[in-house]
Amino acid sequence: MEHILSILIFFPVFAAIIGLLVEKDAIRVYGIVVTAIEFFISCVLWYNFETANGGMQFTEYIPLVTQYGIAYNLGIDGISLFLIIMTTFITMISLIGLTETRNLKNLIITVLFLEMAMVGVFVALDAIVFYVFWEFSLVPMLYIIGAWGGPRRIYASVKFFLYTFTGSLIMLVGMLYLAFIYQQTTGTWSFNLMDWYMLPLSLNTQLWLFVAFFLGFAIKVPMVPFHTWLPYAHGQAPTIGSVILAAILLKMGTYGFIRFSLPLFPDASVAFMIPMGVLAVIAIIYTAMVAYAQEDIKQVIAYSSVSHMGVIILGIFALNVEGIGGSLFLMISHGVVSGALFMLVGVIYDRKHTKMMSEFGGLARVMPMYALIFGIMLMASVGLPLTIGFVGEFLSLLGYFAVSPVLTAIAGLTIILGAIYMLVLYKRTFFGAVTNKSNLDLKDLNGKEYSALLPLVFLVVYLGVHPKPILEPVDASVKQLVQVMTERAVTSRAQETIIKVNTIGEKK
């Protein structure tokens, strides 16, 4: 177990290089086997994880540039554990359900490189190593959208890259300035996140650095008004690109808020609790209304993703155990549900080569099992109790209720808009008469599609009924995070606020 995190990072890259020698006819099976092994390794990680330990585990440390304190520093806690497992699981499922046949070998090798970068983001404890993995993840996704996307794929891929790269550069400036402050304070350079947690920062410094990191993370999430790249990226990306983008890449932004912004800038986080909540509520309302106006099924789900990410932001900036734990659970549930929904859109697109609702109607009669699974995922997306979507939304809203009952009430009511546009989509697509006679010849789900979708259905139901396997390991790490925030706050107002919102949560 000593180097299991390094194995998780570099095994997909090693396999991708070997994959260059694999015959084209065998590359699909090869890719599935590689990602299945990677998922198995992540499960071994979970099996050996100490649930009651809220600190970093499986740590690795190798000095790289000792003069500036840059090191190959890895570790995980309950906050990152399930994001890693979700990354390996969704990558495996996306290859099982892969329908793309064009230049398949290059696509699978690109996905393996992308998996390496995503896992690296969630295990890196050195800011420079984190930043390298963060930026490297842009390249495979740029290639996936640009090479296998739709008619406007070049525009979509370039817009995706420019938006996220610009935000990342501003974040890098913030990282370098933090390292400079550490050097001025201690006399030595360090990019170790654990060292930075001990660094005293004035409120004014925290505010400016919070904004620098905010731009990097908010664009990745994406938060309104930085969200305009996402619908283009989803609309033009191939199915596997949309699945990985929605399920994993967006979570890198929310993970960044939890791992960097909250513990490093606790006073600034308290100062921005209400503004972040307002932005989150605007995202929930605005994108829900835009989703309702869409005719393209994939665009409805794309805007729905932005709306759900708004709920995650609410939970994070509740700054209490319930809210942050709920937001982490919601990241997992959104990854499972949005990944499944984009996969389901890919299923119908492969048969009809269209995603427009007007081209369908009465599909439940023609493809009953497809309609059933779509319906289950739709119910999870709108947060139906006893599905995976309910738990995270409930805890996130419960957590933020301690901060602002008014904003929480608005957010809770506007989540109903999500149910409206999703049910309208389902009604127009699956119910009524079969208006397009050519749809009568459509085939229901095949074996490959079942094997990709049924595990997701199982997770939606099982974790909706029994969320403890995720919530329990997360709880210890979130409590330690809140403790770090309380200890590092330099103003009495921030300390009192963090203690207050957590005390209210405990009473509830």
User: What is the mean predicted confidence (pLDDT) over 182-189?
Assistant: 92
Tell me the percentage of the chain whose pLDDT exceeds 70.
Answer: 99
- pLDDT for 339 equals 93
Q: Is residue 86 part of a domain?
A: no
Q: Is residue 379 part of a domain?
A: yes
- pLDDT for 504 equals 67
User: What is the mean predicted confidence (pLDDT) over 60-75?
Assistant: 93
Q: Is residue 197 part of a domain?
A: no
Domain tally, the chain: 1
* Residue 300 structural domain: 272-508
**In this model, does residue 268 exceed pLDDT 90?**
yes
DSSP 287-332: HHHHHHT--BHHHHHHHHHHHHHHHHHHHHTT-SHHHHHHHHHHHH
- pLDDT for 507 equals 53
pLDDT band at 101 (very low <50, low <70, confident <90, very high): confident
Q: Is residue 343 part of a domain?
A: yes
d(C-alpha 336, C-alpha 247), whole Å: 7
**In this model, does residue 341 exceed pLDDT 80?**
yes
pLDDT band at 461 (very low <50, low <70, confident <90, very high): very high
- Per-residue pLDDT tens over the stretch 219-243: 999 888 888 888 888 888 899 999 9
- pLDDT for 257 equals 95
* Dihedral pair phi/psi, residue 39, rounded to 5°: -65, -40
d(C-alpha 280, C-alpha 274), whole Å: 10
- Per-residue pLDDT tens over the stretch 400-442: 999 999 999 998 887 788 888 899 999 999 998 888 888 888 8
> Where on the phi/psi map is residue 77: left (φ > 0), alpha (ψ -120 to 50), or beta?
beta
- Per-residue pLDDT tens over the stretch 278-321: 999 999 888 888 888 888 899 999 888 888 899 999 999 999 99
- pLDDT for 490 equals 84
Q: Is residue 367 part of a domain?
A: yes
User: What is the mean predicted confidence (pLDDT) over 179-204?
Assistant: 91
Q: Is residue 506 part of a domain?
A: yes
Which residue do the tokens 């071994």 mark?
A: 44
Q: Is residue 320 part of a domain?
A: yes
Q: Is residue 148 part of a domain?
A: no
**In this model, does residue 87 exceed pLDDT 90?**
yes
Which residue do the tokens 């794309």 mark?
A: 302
- pLDDT for 34 equals 96
- pLDDT for 168 equals 92
Of 426, 308, 329, the closest CA to residue 82 belongs to: 329
Mean model confidence pLDDT for the chain: 91
Question: Is pTM beyond 0.85 here?
Answer: yes
